[in-house]
Amino acid sequence: MKSNIKKPKDRLVLALDVDTLEDAKELVYELKNYVGTFKIGLQLFTSVGPEIIKIIHGEGANIFFDGKFHDIPNTVAKACANLVKHGVTFFDIHVTGGSKMMMTTAKLARETAKRYEQPEPTILGVTLISSFGQRTLTEELGIYANIDDYATKLAMLAKDCGLDGVMVSANDLPNIRKKCGDDFVIMCPAVRPTWSMVNDQIRILTPTDAIKAGGDYLIVGRPITQAKDRVSAAKMIIDEIECAIEEKEEIL
């Protein structure tokens, strides 16, 4: 999937966190030339269903189905196989669902892609959601490991189980990139340019920090979708990504 990263905009994933098909279509039509992938989450999908997938496909853009599946292996595998039939580019499952869930899902998804002559999807593992902090991990879930070490452990498990990459906070990027290698796909949620509000995310970084730390794809939502001029906001983030890539290459 990294071979599909040809331009800085290809790294930008726009979160379509809206409630109506009309709002989603407006964002897709307006920003299709400035965004590499559109993210469909539970908020939008439970409101409008698979119709939005057809619309995005019609505009020639990539699709990330952010369902964060976590259930028994058979249920998750069959649900994800249905996504493959729709031709999604990326989808994600929780690493904490365990090795059997991940391996079963990866196997069936790839078999389904071949059977239905669909592109093989990039399967990502969710380590810890970006609203989690150390207090949530320790006091609420009873996991006493350091949050960064725990996320790295989960990423390594995802790789061992045949997943293509992970969704991780940019704070965990350097160690995961080192442990999992350059070919392991890393998508970063909760990316916020310096000029935007933080909102409800805790573990965030700027586009520059995320790229320099080794991120492949950056998910941005409200800094673009709630901007007065959405195209200009997207362009500013693309420019920041491009500058970060150039600076990183100069260092290397």
Catalytic annotation present for 68 = yes
Q: 147: which 2 tokens?
A: 């949050």
Does 72 score more than 70 pLDDT? yes
DSSP for the chain reads: -GGG--SGGGGEEEE---SSHHHHHHHHHHHTTT-SEEEEEHHHHHHHTTHHHHHHHHTT-EEEEEEEE-S-HHHHHHHHHHHHHTT-SEEEEEGGG-HHHHHHHHHHHHHHHHHTT-PPPEEEEE-S-TT--HHIIIIIT---S-HHHHHHHHHHHHHHTT-SEEE--GGGHHHHHHHH-TTSEEEE-SB--TTS--TT-SS-B-HHHHHHTT-SEEEE-HHHHTSSSHHHHHHHHHHHHHHHHHHHHHH-
User: 2 pLDDT exceeds 70?
Assistant: no
Per-residue DSSP letters for 129-171? Answer: -TT--HHIIIIIT---S-HHHHHHHHHHHHHHTT-SEEE--GG
The pLDDT of residue 176: 95
Encoding tokens for residue 85? 């039939």
Best CA proximity match to 202, nearest among 139, 137, 138, 131: 131
Model pLDDT, residue 247: 87
Residue 127, pLDDT above cutoff 70 = yes
Mean pLDDT of 132-143: 92
Per-residue confidence (pLDDT) for residue 194, from 0 to 100: 76
- Domain ranges in the chain? 2-251
Catalytic residue among 2, 32, 68, 235: 68
- The whole-number pLDDT of residue 192 equals 85
Dmax (CA) of the chain: 47
The yes/no answer on whether domain 2-251 falls in CATH 3.40.190.10 is: no
60: region left, alpha or beta (phi > 0 left; psi from -120 to 50 alpha): left
- Statement: residue 186 has pLDDT above 60: yes
Averaged pLDDT score across all residues of the chain: 92
- Taking alpha carbons only, the member of 65, 119, 118, 74 closest to residue 92 is 65
